[in-house]
Chain A
């Protein structure tokens, strides 16, 4: 806040970036399911934050404020986008492989299958699953990111995991 008051917004952003970059990106990605679009939204979010910093009055916490901007920007981007991309798109698979550069062929097949299963989950369950595993399995963080009660997060997570387990079991039987 001191930096903002002193018109040193660039420094303020440089401090906020390491703390919130990944979370904002994850949130955008959970909405958009497209790495490039999520990065664009993340950039837009930080530019919006940079512009709006002088007006931040501290009534809400900084993280709540940032996540609200991120959610709104992601929803706008989602609405503006015509075709719905999928987590199992080739570019998403490339991104997955980029996370773990040398997985075995079996692992790639398994992960691709899991990714497709996640893709088939209802939107809220999919978001909760993605953010839960992105945020070191913290219910509180997911609840803050999505502005949901922790109980709702736990319920959605439980349902998503049950669906995934069931679907994975079915796939195992047919394989």
Chain B
């Protein structure tokens, strides 16, 4: 075989110039992509279902009366107790005996009112949790 450069070029061009996939390549690929797409959609739907279930579990946990009370009361009680302690310590030297008398007379009502206020905060918090609409995932 005596092959000059131009002849070599011609052969190489003929060998590799027309290199291409088979005729049904695109059809096969699109069929695979459709199958992938369906699998993908099914996997996504499963993920959404799992996410929704997780969300519902989280909400029901939040709505659990005792858990909510404990969670919210702990924060509220700590804050209010701290504020009350600071207020009492600051105001104590200025209390007259009359104020103490008033406290003795109406202390029960004041304590009751404070309890209602303290109790109302977690109740309001729970109401806000329940009123919030579930987040749309899709």
A118 adjacent to B3 (CB under 8 Å): no
Q: Is B32 an interface residue (CB 8 A)?
A: yes
Query: Which parts of A120-175 form the interface with B (CB within 8 Å)?
Result: 129-131, 133-134, 136-137, 161, 164-165, 168-169, 171-172, 175
CA distance A39 to B34 in the complex (A): 18
Given contact pairs A96-B15, A114-B15, enumerate 20 new A-B contacts (beta carbons under 8 Å).
Answer: A10-B33, A10-B37, A17-B26, A21-B21, A21-B26, A22-B20, A25-B21, A39-B21, A50-B36, A99-B18, A103-B14, A115-B15, A129-B16, A131-B16, A133-B9, A164-B8, A165-B3, A168-B8, A172-B2, A175-B2
18 A–B contacts, CB within 8 A, in A order: A10-B33, A13-B29, A17-B26, A21-B25, A21-B26, A22-B19, A42-B25, A46-B29, A107-B14, A113-B1, A114-B11, A129-B16, A136-B17, A165-B8, A168-B2, A169-B3, A171-B1, A172-B1
Q: Is B130 an interface residue (CB 8 A)?
A: no
Q: Is A15 an interface residue (CB 8 A)?
A: no
Q: Is B132 an interface residue (CB 8 A)?
A: no
A165 adjacent to B28 (CB under 8 Å): no
Listed residue (A47, A114, A169) with the most chain B CB atoms within 10 angstroms of its CB: A114
Query: Which parts of B1-53 form the interface with A (CB within 8 Å)?
Result: 1-3, 5, 7-9, 11-22, 25-26, 28-30, 32-34, 36-37
B29 adjacent to A100 (CB under 8 Å): no
Which A residues have a C-beta under 8 Å from some C-beta of B? 10, 13-14, 17, 21-22, 25-26, 29, 39, 42-43, 46-47, 50-51, 96, 99-100, 103, 107, 109-111, 113-115, 118, 129-131, 133-134, 136-137, 161, 164-165, 168-169, 171-172, 175
A94 to chain B, nearest CB (A): 12
Which B residues have a C-beta under 8 Å from some C-beta of A? 1-3, 5, 7-9, 11-22, 25-26, 28-30, 32-34, 36-37
A111 adjacent to B21 (CB under 8 Å): no
A115 to chain B, nearest CB (A): 6
Please, which residues of chain B bring their CB within 8 A of the CB of A100?
14, 18
A13 adjacent to B17 (CB under 8 Å): no
CA distance A112 to B14 in the complex (A): 11
CA distance A41 to B36 in the complex (A): 16
Please, which residues of chain B bring their CB within 8 A of the CB of A103?
14
A42 to chain B, nearest CB (A): 6
A110 adjacent to B11 (CB under 8 Å): yes
B75 to chain A, nearest CB (A): 41
Please, which residues of chain B bring their CB within 8 A of the CB of A130?
16, 19
